[in-house]
Every structure is written in C-alpha cells, then in structure tokens.
Structure 1
Amino acid sequence: MSSLLSHNKDQPRIRKSLSDSCPASSAAATKSLRHERLSRLSSSGSSDASNDTSTNHAESYFLRRENRLSARKKAEEETLNNDYKKMYEKALATNQRLKSRLETSKQELSMIQDQLQRAQKGGTSDCASDLLKAEEKESWGIKKRISDMEEQLKVKAELKMENQRLKDENGALIRVITKLSK
C-alpha cells in the first residue's frame, strides 16, 4: 500500500514536469517516464500477485497510450506534409501561369515599343505624307468638279433664257403670219 501511495504522490509532480517541457522533447520525456515507472515497479518487488497484475495493466496501458500518441503524431505530420505538398503544387502552378502571362506581356510591350520607335523615326511619316497628298488631290478634284458644275449651271440658265426668247419670237411670228394671211 505504501508503494501505491508513494506512486500517487510522485505522479502529479511528473505530470507537471511533462506539461512544462517542450513538445519536441515529449517523446523523450515519455520514454524516461516509462523507464522510471518500470524501475519503481521492479524495485517495489513482486511481494504480492495483485501488485504485479496492476503493474502489468499499468505498463500495458502506458505502452498503448504511447503507441497511440506516436501514431497520432505521425498522422498529423503526414497530413501537414500533404497539405504543404498541395500548397506547394498550387503555388507552383500559379507561378507558371503568371510567368507565361508575364512573357506574353513582355512580347506585346516590345512590339508596341518597336511601333512607337518607327513612328518617331519617320517610318509612318511617309505614310502620313502620302495620305495628305492623296487628300489634297481628292479635294482638288472635288473643287474642279464643283467649278465645272457651276459653269454648267450658268450655261443651262443661259440656254433657258435663250429658249424662252426663241419661243416668244416664234409666237410673235405666228401672229404676224396669221394676220397677213387673213
């Protein structure tokens, strides 16, 4: 009974020391804790059979607990690794997509800069002067056609007046001829 009491007295102190330790050394602390328990249990001796069975149960409980904890940690590490792997792959795909867009933008920029340089050097000024000359020719041709039409309108107006004069003369002659024939 005294060994059980001493075992219970030591237990809170051990738990406190485990909670104070860092999580990285928890596996080492668990192993040392198990080793202490085993040494205490073996030092208390096998005085009675009930104590041995409780020791075996306690030992098997702690071994199972330790195995579960290590399995849980491995599972967490694997999920973290998988998450990091997925995140890395997603970031890699995003980087590739952005690099291709950047290359396309660079090509477009270089094309636009070439066009700008040609425009500034006068490559397009020849085209502009050709367009200007063509527009001048077209406007000169339109002005000539307008002046020709104005001339035709003047001639038409003169012809109308001449036609009217001839009609009037013709009517006068017809009246004179009818008076003479009576």
Structure 2
Amino acid sequence: MQRLEEARSMSCQLAHSKDHPRVRKSPSDSSSSSSSSANESLRHERLSRLNSSGMSDLSNDTTGNHAESYFSRRENRLSARKKAEEEMARNDYKKMYEKALVTNQRLKSRLETSKQELVVIQEQLQRAQQKERKSELGSTMLETEKKDSRSLTKKISEMEEQVKVKAELHTENQRLKDENGALIRVITKLSK
C-alpha cells in the first residue's frame, strides 16, 4: 500500500513538472551535461527502486506504466535537448566559420589591393630611378663633354702655337735658303 502511495506521489510530481515549462540552457552552460547525467542516474535509481519494491508485480497497474512512460518521455526530452544543444553548438561553429571566411575574403582582397599598389609604386620608383640615371648620365655626359671641350681647346691652342712655330721655322728656313743661294753664287763667282 505504501508503495502504491509512493508511485502515486511520483506520478503527481510528474504531472506537476509537465505543467511548468523548463528554461532552456545555453550550450556553453557546463552544468547542463552534468545535470543530464545526474538526471539519468536518478531515473535509473528510481526505476530500480520501483522494480525492487515490487512494482514488477503491479506491471498492469496504471501508475507503474505511468512512471515508466514518464521516464521514457523524460529520456526522449533529454536526448532531444542534447541534440538541440549540439545543433546550436554546430550552428555557432558554422557562424564562426562563416565569419572567419568573410574576414579572410576581406583580408585577401585588401592584400591583393596592397600588392597592386606595391607593383604601381615599384614601377614609379623604377621610372624615377631611370630618370635619375638619365639625368646623372646627362650630367656625366655634360661633364665629359666639358672636359672634352676643354681638352680640345687646349689642343687647339697647342696646335696654333705649333703652327706659329712652324711658320716661323718656315720663314727662317726660307731666309736660310736664300742666304745659302747667295753664298753659293758668291763662292762660284770667286772660284771663277
């Protein structure tokens, strides 16, 4: 009789728990997994207590079936909750993965833009270096041209000097030839 009263009070508690909705816990809540394992162990303990207390004799009794159906429904609800939590966790990971993909795509596009800018800047730098080399070459060429013109001017002045000297030597040579011719004529007149 006492066992029947315990089974009835248990079914009343079950009916009372059906009336009150449960608050769903987030997947990050670590207590949900520990509470579900505690609930399962509690359920097994109650079932074993019911079976050991002679409820197996009353298997046709509606309260015994009621308790077993309660436990099976509760187990189904717990497994459904666990699946839902796993699905939420998967969805969270999926959202995180999608966010990471979007971030990666954005960073890749920025990297490509930066690479293109780098190529443009390198081309501009090369052009500037080429202009600088050309200007250096131009200034070097101007410098060499100036040196060449100075050396040519020097050579011209030296050649003008040599021409003057040659002209003087030529006139001197002509004078000496004339004197020599005159001397030869004098000598020939004297020898006759």
TM-score (norm 1): 0.50
Structure with larger RCO (C-alpha < 8 A, sep 6+):
2
